[in-house]
Amino acid sequence: MPPASKANGDLQEAARLEGQGKGMNVPRLLAILACMPLALFTLLFILIKEFVKRPLQFFFRSPRAVQLPPRLDGAVHEDLDVGGGVKLHAVSFGRQPDKPLMLFLHGFPECWYSWRDQLVHFRTQYEVVAVDMRGYNTSSKPQALSAYSLEHLTADVAALVRRLGRSCCTLVAHDWGGAVAWAAAGRYPGLVERLVVLAGPHWRLYERNLTAEQLARSYYFLWFQLPLLPELLLLHTDSAFMDAVWRGGDVFSVRRPGAVKGEDVEVYKAAVQQPGAATASLNYYRAAMLASLGLLPMHPEVEAGLDRVLDMPVLVVWGANNHALCLSNLRDIDQVGPRSAVHVLPDCSHWIQSDQPEELHRIMDDWLADNPLQGQTQPKPKAQPEAEPEPEPEAEAEAKPKAEPEPEAEAKPEAEAKPEPEAEAEPEAEAEAEAEPEAEAEAEAEPQPPSQSPSESPSQSPEASEPEAAEPDE
């Protein structure tokens, strides 16, 4: 215990000294302070406008009982202890140690439910686990602002994997979950075997590729630095903010009509209305801002992890109509992940897994098949239809038309064999000699019995084929 405490103290001291050495980013701080009055004015204007629109409902919250869709029947809800007094709510279909682990991290202002389609789609091949990250929904909500730094967020990922009895996982993440996933993959080599990031920039690339357009799209960062007002934005009028995000029909919401239903929004509202959840989810942005200004020193392991070149396969999926994050965040992505594959989905918003789940599944299926785990025999989903056991029916279908005339020919001896066993040789000899016209007349008359009962011929054809195979054997 004392050596471990000393090691932790050394790391904290190293982080403090490193933060002091780097110093405060004064130019950035001054720029932010200059923009804060405008951020305050715009947010106040929005809140006042909403209050005037519905003054009696502005502070109202309706009690709600969340009803999950039937496809999630059998889902297991549990609280996983990740240490430090923090428990994370997780949803899965139970422990399945014979399958590889696929872990899902959500973004803002979501919860585990944003992965509902992916949990169902990948459950047959993986042990799928979607978590509420710290501060969200019913997961623990530490009070300290520093508890939402990348140091603790990445440590949660490693602790989750261990708590699930694994040493590694396929990590799938979106938005803030993506930023955490990039850092966790770098901080803990070997923890992440395959990384899938949806609309979540690598922290280093975000800072390096910061453009005027991206600064304009990140205006809400300034909103979220203000006290109390951002929480009011998320909670006023029974969390009408969630209706705007998921069903608003504008550039900020999901583009595909009907992608998110009213009952889905109810789940998100219930999550953000959990006591302390609004403040805790906003603390991600507040801690990140302090870190970018040098006011919240970054842990040296996190720094090293962000600078590490990732050696695992990486899949990055972006929406072409992402309102929050520009495509410029993908520039030089091969420098942080040389084995990265990038897909930009047309007519897709920031909310990829809700907006285009089928296309996302197709991309992920192909990529996972192209990058199998060590010792895992995972055929490509495209190859499965080709390997279908359909040649046998085709062979039977080809054999049937060939066999259909044969039973008709065989019906002659069978029909004659019952009344006159020796009559078979006579028509054959007469047919070979072609001498007696009476035999020809009999041959023309003999096919008539099958034609008189066409409904019986399909059932007779397989039976007639068996005697035909038996006659050569005799």
> How confident is the model over 95-128, as pLDDT tens digits?
999 999 999 999 999 999 999 999 999 999 999 9
pLDDT-derived band at 427, boundaries 50, 70, 90 = very low
For residue 8, the SS3 value is helix
pLDDT value at position 16?
A: 44
Mean pLDDT of 231-260: 94
Q: Which two tokens mark 433?
A: 């000699």
The total of other beta-carbon atoms located within 10 Å of residue 71's CB is: 11
pLDDT value at position 22?
A: 57
Residue in 288, 267, 306 with CA at minimum distance from that of residue 188: 306
The CATH number of the domain covering residues in 11-376: 3.40.50.1820
DSSP lists the bridge partners of residue 140 as none
Mean pLDDT of 161-181: 98
pLDDT-derived band at 63, boundaries 50, 70, 90 = confident
Percent with pLDDT over 90 in the chain: 70
Q: Which two tokens mark 247?
A: 């069903």
Q: Residue 438 pLDDT more than 90?
A: no
Mean pLDDT of 330-336: 97
For residue 281, the SS3 value is helix
pLDDT value at position 421?
A: 39
Amino acid symbol at 159: A
Kindly report the average pLDDT of the chain as a whole number. 82
Mean pLDDT of 4-25: 47
**Alpha helix locations (H) across 54-199?**
116-122, 150-163, 176-187
Residue in 316, 391, 414 with CA at minimum distance from that of residue 360: 316
Handedness of CA 108, 113, 119, 121 (dihedral sign): negative
Catalytic residue IDs:
175, 285, 350
pLDDT-derived band at 320, boundaries 50, 70, 90 = very high
pLDDT value at position 204?
A: 96
Q: Which two tokens mark 274?
A: 């959990």
pLDDT-derived band at 5, boundaries 50, 70, 90 = very low
pLDDT value at position 452?
A: 40
pLDDT in tens, 305-317: 999 999 999 999 9
pLDDT value at position 64?
A: 87
Mean pLDDT of 26-30: 91
The total of other beta-carbon atoms located within 10 Å of residue 207's CB is: 11
Mean pLDDT of 52-62: 93
Q: What's the pTM? A: 0.76
Q: Residue 21 pLDDT more than 90?
A: no
Q: Residue 212 gets which letter from DSSP?
A: H
Q: Residue 274 pLDDT more than 90?
A: yes
Of 1-10, 28-37, 200-209, 312-321, least confident by mean pLDDT is 1-10
**Cα–Cα distance, 300 to 407 (Å, whole number):** 83
